[in-house]
Structure formats: structure tokens, C-alpha cells
């Protein structure tokens, strides 16, 4: 209850409900069956209470025990139908709700994968994960209970009021007055509780975030002896949460006892006045008995209805956040050029191959193909990359790259050096089409990369970056992530190429060793070698190495560099490095500052020019 009331109400309830109804409409027959079974179950309860009147008046008072037996059996059969109906609708609703939640979770995952990197740059991981966890779980809770419970409570409340009016209009005025009092009280306490629960949610989020940071930063905490200071900071947050939770629960927990007390008082007043009505001949004893049972059960559906409305509003708020993420503009891919494995026939003509041949070509559609001519052109994949006067900024007001012109021929090694924020990594991101240039163009084997389908473009590229990411799974699975159809032999060969095979074989389970927590059971250097093996198994013609050796020791650096040298053979390579010793043998070195290329040339040429690169290499200047 505390978690749910703390949610903010949806901004547009009608729109969100309509969107959610689209998912429910796919299961309209099952939901119709649920509504019918709820009606039968609730109707049996309402009608069974009313039957107390003829049972008492016609059979108990006249002492007609044979007739009493038959009507009791009939009531038992009716209640049994109600129980079976309850069993039926709960089973159906559980199946429908889980199916709907699975469909929403599936659609959310698919849309998340289609979002551009700009979206993830603007949102924290925790914020996005809350859509899959808190919001989906809140919607799941409501789907499991609210639909049937709200319908049942509404039918029960409406049926109860209708039956007390049938039994005695004058006496029912007492019940209506108490129901109005209960409604006003519940609304008042609900408003106060919602405010306090929102404060509780803020405090809870603060303490959860603090604990998460402490757990993930245990090494840093212990290195700097920060345990006492962190404990004191935790106590402050914990006390804030305690005070907010106390206020929230104190208000919410008084609702049900107060409503129950009012219902008991309502029952007592109704019983006293009803007894006087019986003595005055205005009501029979059987009718009063049934009436008093209705009075006892009148508060329950109203209380349930109020609670379920809060649950439903919380679910709609979560659903609104889910749908907002689904409605984010997906990554656009207008490319029509694809990458295909090819074979070359004796006459020199390329034909598409059904399997891997080691050779690939771009399949470029021809818009002006004449009748009888081929509708596409084969362009061999070579890895020639060209940036034509490219300008880019992550935000319009801050330009990261300015008028970048560079070219890389097949098999060349290009290196980028420069200060942090100079735009080195951005160049690689543009080549992968994680972002689009604001001006200029990039060509790949003479083809504008905007024409190449993103999946095919990225299939021809591979990256080895400083912040390697290992997934939960075996070492073999993590290497095979570079190409899912790679055989075990290809995985081992890739590991040998990357100099990773030796340490893998020394592990207790070898290639079947499980990795958890982003490969936390391996060293940084070992994870880096696995990243190189992952790139190797993907067999890319173009490779990007981004700060791949900046955070490892000298011995591991030599192992990584040896693996990279093997991987870079006969490939076009882009290297980003802070250690200038790793770029000496590059074909071209580009020096970037403030988003512009200020120098280019070989290692020897740049030293001879005695410019910025010379200053960096000789130590008269440092990278910032």
C-alpha cells in the first residue's frame, strides 16, 4: 500500500487508459468471461443474503423444517456456483494479466533496443530500469487484482444499496448517511496519506541510491577509510525515511479501523431502529435480519473500491511512463545498401553466397537501372573510409568536431591523439552511425554510410574500448557475442589471436568459466583480452581501438598490443590512445584539439615538424 500510494497520478488518465485498453482488447473474450463470472459470484452473495428473509419468515418461524432443509440446500448450491465462478475468474484473470504484462514488457524491450544513443545519454540507467521493474511491476499488481476487484466491489456496493432500498427505504437512509461519512473520511485521509507517501518515496529513493553507491564503491570506501562518515550519512537518510514513513503509515492505517468503527456504529443504530420498526409492524423480522447483514457488508466493498482505485491510478501512472518510453522516436535507418557474402566466378562476376566465404561486398541498389539490366551493383568490401568536411555536436550549442577531413585506405592504420574532449571517440561513434553528422558526409568504400543499413554497417566494424563490458555467461559466450554463429574452434582461435587462450585454460572451468557482475572475477587486462577476442571472432574489415591499453600494467599492455597487432593485420584500423608509444607505427597520425585536426602525418613527419605532437611526445606538453 505504501509503495503504491506514493506514485504520482497519471498526467493524462484517459489517453493512458485508452492505450492500455488496446492491449486488453486482444483478450476481450477472456475479459468478458471474467466480467460474467464476477457478476455470477457477486450476485450469488447478494441474493444469498436476501434469501434470509424468506428462510426466517416462511420456514423458521412457522417451523417448516422440511422446507427449511430444501431452501438451505438450494442456498448451498447457489453459493457453490458463486465459489466456482470465483475460482474461474481468478484463474482466467491471472492468465490474461500475465499475458498482457508479457506483451507490454516485450514491446518495451523492442522499442528500447530501437532507441538512439542520444536517448540513453539523456537518461540514467536507474531511470530506464525503473520502467522495466517498478512501473511494470505496479501495472502487474493492478492487472492481477484491480480489474476483477473493482468490478466486484462496484457490483457488491450497487447491489447492496439496491437491496436495502428494497427491504426498507426509510431505514436505508441511515446506511446512506454513514456511507457518505465514510466516503468523505476516506477521501480526506487518502489525500493526506498520498502527500506523506510521496515524501516517503523521495526518501526511499535517496536511501536506495546511497546504498547502491556504497555497495558498488566498497573498494574506494575502504581505501579511504570512509566507513564511519558513510554510516553517519546513512543514519541521516534512514532517519528521514523513518519520519516520512511514520507520518504516511499513521495516516493510512487509521482509515480501515475508522471505517470499521463507523460500520459497527451504523450496524448498531440500524439494529435498534430496525427493532423498533419490527415492534411497530413496519418491518418483519426476516427482512430485518437480511437488512442487518447487508449493513455489515456495505462498508467492505466501498473500502475495497477506494483502495483499488488508488492501485489503478498508480498502475496507470506506471503505464504512462512505459508508453512515453515506447513513444520515443526510434533510431532511423533509411539505408538500402546491404552487406552480403560473395563468391567470384571464373569470369570475374560476383555472386551472393549462402555461407561464409571470407569475402564480402556491398549490394547497392541502382535507381536508374534500365530494362534487362541488373537492379543492383556489387562493390567489394575493402574498408576505405573517408570523412568529408564533417561537423558535429551532441547539442546544437556545443560543436565537438569541426570540418573534419580524413581518409583511410584499406589496410591502413590511423591514430588519433589529443586532449580529453577533443573529439577522438566521437569520430568512431559517427563512423558507427551512433550519431549523425550535422554537416558533411562519411563514405565507406565510396558509399555514403547513410545509404548503408545500420546492422550491415556495424557488422563490418568492430570496436575494442577501454571500458569493456562482459555479460553474465561463460567466457566462450562472451567471446561468441561478437558473432553468435561462431564455432567452438573459432572461439578458441580468436582467443589465441588475442593472447587470451593461455589464461583461459588456467581457469578451473576454462572456456566454460562463468562470468558475473561485468566480469568482476577477472582482472582488467583479462577482460581487455577477451574484448579483443570478441572483436577477432567477428572478422571485421574495419577495427576501432579506443584507449584499449590505458588502464593496465606494462606486461599486460604488451600482451594486449601483441593481440591487437595480430587482429589489425590486413584491416583498416582507427586507434585512439593516450600512450603515444602505441601509435608510432601508424600510417597516419591525426592530432586533434578542440574538435579540429591541427596536425597529420607519420610519426617521423610529425616529429620533424616540431609541432603539438612533438611537444606531447618529448614531454614538453601533456595531454589534458
Topology of domain 2-326 in CATH is: ABC transporter transmembrane region fold (1.20.1560)
The residues pairing with 441 across neighbouring beta strands, listed in sequence order, are 388
Supply the CATH classification number for the domain 385-618.
Answer: 3.40.50.300
Taking only the tens place, the pLDDT of each residue in 43-84 is: 888 888 888 888 888 888 888 888 888 988 988 898 899 899
Return d(Cα 435, Cα 417) in angstroms, integer.
21
The answer to whether residues 13 and 316 touch, using CB atoms and an 8 Å cutoff, is: yes
- Nearest one of 183, 196, 197 to 259, comparing CA atoms: 183
- pLDDT of 444 higher than 70: yes
What are the sequence ranges of the domains in the chain? 2-326, 338-379, 385-618
- pLDDT of 552 higher than 70: no
Residue matched to cell numbers 418483519: 284
More confident residue, 430 or 255: 430
Taking only the tens place, the pLDDT of each residue in 254-276 is: 777 777 788 778 888 888 888 88
The answer to whether residues 419 and 623 touch, using CB atoms and an 8 Å cutoff, is: yes
pTM, rounded to two decimals: 0.71
Return d(Cα 541, Cα 405) in angstroms, integer.
21
The answer to whether residues 592 and 422 touch, using CB atoms and an 8 Å cutoff, is: yes
**Residues whose CB is less than 8 angstroms from the CB of residue 10 and which lie 6 or more positions away in sequence, other chains included:** 16, 313, 316, 317, 319, 320
pLDDT score recorded for residue 311: 74
- Collapsing DSSP states into helix, strand and coil, what is residue 517? coil
Taking only the tens place, the pLDDT of each residue in 451-506 is: 999 888 888 888 877 767 888 889 999 999 888 888 899 899 888 888 888 889 99
Buried b (16+ CB within 10 A) or exposed e, 66-97: eebeeeeeebeebeeebeebbebbbebbeebb
More confident residue, 503 or 622: 503
In what order do the strands lie in the sheet containing 439-444? 401-408, 385-392, 439-444, 447-448
The residues pairing with 574 across neighbouring beta strands, listed in sequence order, are 414, 544
* Fold agreement between 2-326 and 385-618: no
Q: How confident is the model at residue 10 (pLDDT cuts 50, 70, 90)?
A: low
The residues pairing with 346 across neighbouring beta strands, listed in sequence order, are none
Amino acid at each position: 500500500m505504501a509503495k503504491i500510494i506514493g506514485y504520482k497520478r497519471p498526467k493524462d488518465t484517459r489517453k493512458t487508459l485508452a492505450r492500455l485498453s488496446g492491449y486488453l482488447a486482444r483478450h476481450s473474450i477472456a475479459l468478458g468471461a471474467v466480467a460474467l463470472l464476477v457478476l455470477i459470484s457477486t450476485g450469488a452473495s447478494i441474493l444469498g443474503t436476501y434469501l434470509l428473509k424468506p428462510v426466517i419468515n416462511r420456514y423458521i418461524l412457522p417451523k417448516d423444517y422440511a422446507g427449511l432443509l430444501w431452501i438451505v440446500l438450494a442456498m448451498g448450491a447457489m453459493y457453490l456456483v458463486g465459489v466456482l465462478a470465483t475460482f474461474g475468474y481468478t484463474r482466467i484473470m491471472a492468465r490474461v494479466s500475465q499475458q498482457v504484462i508479457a506483451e507490454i514488457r516485450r514491446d518495451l524491450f523492442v522499442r528500447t533496443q530501437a532507441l538512439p544513443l542520444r536517448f540513453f545519454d539523456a537518461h540514467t540507467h536507474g531511470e530506464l530500469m525503473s520502467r522495466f521493474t517498478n512501473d511494470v511491476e505496479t501495472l502487474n499488481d493492478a492487472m492481477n487484482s484491480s480489474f476483477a476487484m473493482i468490478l466486484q466491489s462496484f457490483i457488491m456496493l450497487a447491489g447492496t444499496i439496491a437491496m436495502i432500498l428494497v427491504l426498507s427505504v426509510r431505514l436505508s437512509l441511515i446506511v446512506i448517511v454513514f456511507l457518505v461519512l465514510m466516503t468523505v473520511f476516506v477521501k480526506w485521509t487518502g489525500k493526506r496519506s498520498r502527500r506523506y507517501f510521496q515524501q516517503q518515496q523521495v526518501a526511499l529513493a535517496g536511501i536506495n541510491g546511497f546504498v547502491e553507491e556504497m555497495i558498488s564503491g566498497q573498494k574506494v570506501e575502504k581505501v579511504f577509510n570512509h566507513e564511519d562518515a558513510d554510516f553517519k550519512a546513512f543514519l541521516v537518510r534512514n532517519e528521514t525515511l523513518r519520519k516520512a514513513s511514520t507520518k504516511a503509515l499513521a495516516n493510512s492505517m487509521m482509515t480501515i479501523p475508522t471505517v470499521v468503527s463507523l460500520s459497527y456504529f451504523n450496524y448498531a443504530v440500524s439494529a435498534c431502529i430496525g427493532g423498533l420498526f419490527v415492534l411497530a409492524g413496519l418491518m418483519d423480522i426476516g427482512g430485518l435480519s437480511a437488512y442487518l447483514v447487508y449493513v455489515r457488508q456495505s462498508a467492505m466493498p466501498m473500502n475495497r473500491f477506494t483502495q483499488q482505485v488508488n492501485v489503478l491510478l498508480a498502475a496507470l501512472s506506471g503505464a504512462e511512463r512505459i508508453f512515453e518510453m515506447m513513444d520515443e522516436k526510434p533510431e532511423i535507418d533509411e539505408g538500402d545498401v546491404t552487406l552480403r557474402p560473395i563468391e567470384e566466378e571464373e569470369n570475374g562476376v560476383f555472386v551472393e553466397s549462402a555461407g561464409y566465404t571470407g569475402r564480402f561486398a556491398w549490394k547497392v541498389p541502382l535507381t536508374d537501372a534500365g530494362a534487362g539490366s541488373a537492379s543492383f551493383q556489387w562493390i567489394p568490401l575493402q574498408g576505405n573510409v573517408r570523412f568529408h568536411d564533417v561537423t558535429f555536436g551532441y547539442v546544437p550549442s556545443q560543436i565537438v568536431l569541426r570540418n573534419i577531413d580524413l581518409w583511410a585506405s584499406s589496410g591502413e592504420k590511423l591514430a588519433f591523439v589529443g586532449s580529453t574532449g577533443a573529439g577522438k571517440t566521437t569520430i568512431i561513434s559517427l563512423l558507427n552511425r551512433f550519431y549523425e553528422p550535422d554537416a558533411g558526409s562519411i563514405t565507406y568504400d565510396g558509399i555514403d554510410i547513410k545509404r548503408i543499413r545500420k546492422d550491415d554497417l556495424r557488422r563490418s566494424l568492430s570496436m575494442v574500448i577501454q571500458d569493456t563490458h562482459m555479460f553474465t555467461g561463460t567466457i566462450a559466450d562472451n567471446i561468441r557475442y561478437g558473432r553468435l554463429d561462431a564455432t567452438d574452434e573459432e572461439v578458441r582461435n580468436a582467443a589465441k589471436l588475442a593472447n587470451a587462450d593461455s589464461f583461459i585454460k588456467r581457469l578451473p572451468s576454462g572456456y566454460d568459466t562463468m562470468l558475473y557482475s561485468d566480469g568482476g572475477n577477472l582482472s582488467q587486462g583479462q577482460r581487455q583480452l577477451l574484448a579483443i577476442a570478441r572483436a577477432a571472432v567477428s572478422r571485421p574489415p574495419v577495427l576501432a581501438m579506443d584507449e584499449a591499453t590505458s588502464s593496465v600494467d606494462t606486461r599486460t599492455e604488451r600482451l594486449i598490443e601483441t593481440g591487437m597487432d595480430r587482429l589489425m593485420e590486413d584491416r583498416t584500423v582507427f586507434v585512439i590512445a593516450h600512450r603515444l608509444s602505441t601509435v608510432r607505427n601508424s600510417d597516419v597520425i591525426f592530432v586533434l584539439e578542440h574538435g579540429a585536426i591541427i596536425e597529420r602525418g607519420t610519426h617521423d613527419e610529425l616529429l620533424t615538424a616540431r609541432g603539438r605532437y612533438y611537444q606531447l611526445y618529448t614531454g614538453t606538453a601533456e595531454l589534458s
